[in-house]
Amino acid sequence: MPTATYTFPAGFLWGTATSAFQVEGNSPASNWTAWTNEPGRILQGMKPGLACDWWGGRWKEDFDRAAESGQNAHRLSVDWARIQPAEDRWNEDALDYYRQIVRGAVERGLLPMVTLHHFSDPLWLSEQGGWANPKSPQYFEAFVRKTVEALKEYVSLWVTINEPNIYYFSGYLTGEFPPGHHGDLESTFQVLCNMLRGHAAAYRTIHEIQKNARVGLAHHHRPLRAARSWMPFDQLIAHLGPQVMNAFPLALKDGKVRFMLKQASLPEVVHTQDFFGLNYYAINLLKFVLKPADNFIKTSFPKEAEVSGSGFLANLPEGLFESFRWARQFNIPILVTENGIEDSDDGLRQRYLVEHIHQMWRAVTYSWPVKGYFHWSQIDNFEWERGWTQRFGLWGLNTETQARIRRKSVDIYAEICRTNGISSEMIKKYVPALTGKLFPG
């Protein structure tokens, strides 16, 4: 077999991603803490507990491992509820601690990308209606101003909001996230518009404070297809689905919010992203079913897909390339802000990782502006309503002892980061079954 390497451009970002509520533990003023304490909200009644004990300082060892494995960046988030535990109170100690964390990243050679909102809200905001409250954009802007002023010495790469589509879909249509509404189209639309206003206000505030800042959002893009090509209702929901899931970034192009039968004009949100953050996990097939409780939709994966242990995700790397093609319409640099698979025994993750990064290399060779990749995640963490039942980490976690467990995927991702590419020797060593597929001949 001839030797070869799929090489990425110099300066490419290689990192992992985490979020505050999922790794820090014990956030008493968060709406997600309250949510986990409600019976039936979290699978098997699981609790985050210490999570990965980042608030106790174990971010240091996780950053050490990331740096030692060749990563040059890390995406993390801050917890609004820690920084502003009450509407009229700021926690300067929390801001100082976040300053230590981002400084620690920089000292280890990791470029910090900070997400300002990653699903969780302060409990006081939730009690006022959350993002359905017309004042929520100005509350968010004030929080962003306070946080960016505190962290600007070490951070210039910002994500305003993580996956607003998953936030409003899971919170107001399916009820898996707080506040647990089902099929509430009116509130969903209000939340969508207010998050757009909040994002735009945050974008302008950050640039006011930091002229050299790069600001974007992290959008969950999932290619949707009709499960049955001959069924008109499947075709219809596959057509409407992207409108629901992609309404947020599309509004940033022309200021027009289009969601189901609802529309709004928000000209102030146009051109408020310097890069496009792309979260991709899998492709979904959509099937129309007569079940109102399921919003008349059943999702599945293509038959040929390798499916994860719980059936939650599948290895469909071509969907990442398709997502890049879709994201090119924004004409700005693209960063893969999340990509990964739950895999407790680490049998599928290495193939998933390599095949998706190969698709990313394909996009780069087309001169598409892909500039970095953040794998989800550095370490197993509390996966929202699914609790500890899913393990996404390169490193495993023993939740009782906080011991980190090295998985084989650590080594292959480390070689990719250090090499700035995928080599045939690497594939032969770690995933030999892919040799003929990635390096034919």
Place of tokens 């001949």: 441
Average pLDDT, rounded, for the chain: 97
pLDDT range class, residue 295, cuts 50, 70, 90: confident
> How far is Cα of residue 197 from the mean position of the Cα atoms in its chain?
20
Show the domains of the chain with their CATH numbers.
12-409 (3.20.20.80)
Reduced to 3 states (helix: H, G, I; strand: E, B; else coil), residue 437 is helix
Nearest to 401 by CA among 53, 45, 8, 122: 53
pLDDT at 323 over 90: yes
Average pLDDT over residues 351-359: 98
Reduced to 3 states (helix: H, G, I; strand: E, B; else coil), residue 13 is strand
Q: Quickly list DSSP for 163-175.
A: -HHHHHHHHHTS-
pLDDT at 374 over 80: yes
CA distance 83 to 101: 14
pLDDT range class, residue 1, cuts 50, 70, 90: low
pLDDT at 361 over 70: yes
Nearest to 101 by CA among 62, 52, 59: 59
Contact in structure between 348 and 363 (CB atoms under 8 Å): no
Nearest to 78 by CA among 49, 42, 121: 121
The tens digit of pLDDT for each residue in 32-61 reads: 999 999 999 999 999 999 999 999 999 999
How is residue 371 written in tokens?
Answer: 């500039």
CA distance 74 to 375: 9
Contact in structure between 73 and 372 (CB atoms under 8 Å): yes
Average pLDDT over residues 205-234: 96
How is residue 387 written in tokens?
Answer: 């609790």
Reduced to 3 states (helix: H, G, I; strand: E, B; else coil), residue 92 is helix
pLDDT range class, residue 380, cuts 50, 70, 90: very high
pLDDT range class, residue 306, cuts 50, 70, 90: very high
CA distance 152 to 135: 26
Q: For residue 244, how many other CB atoms are within 10 A of its CB?
A: 20
CA distance 300 to 304: 12
Reduced to 3 states (helix: H, G, I; strand: E, B; else coil), residue 395 is strand
pTM above 0.85, yes or no: yes
Cis peptide before 39 (omega within 30 of 0): no
Write the DSSP symbol of residue 390.
-
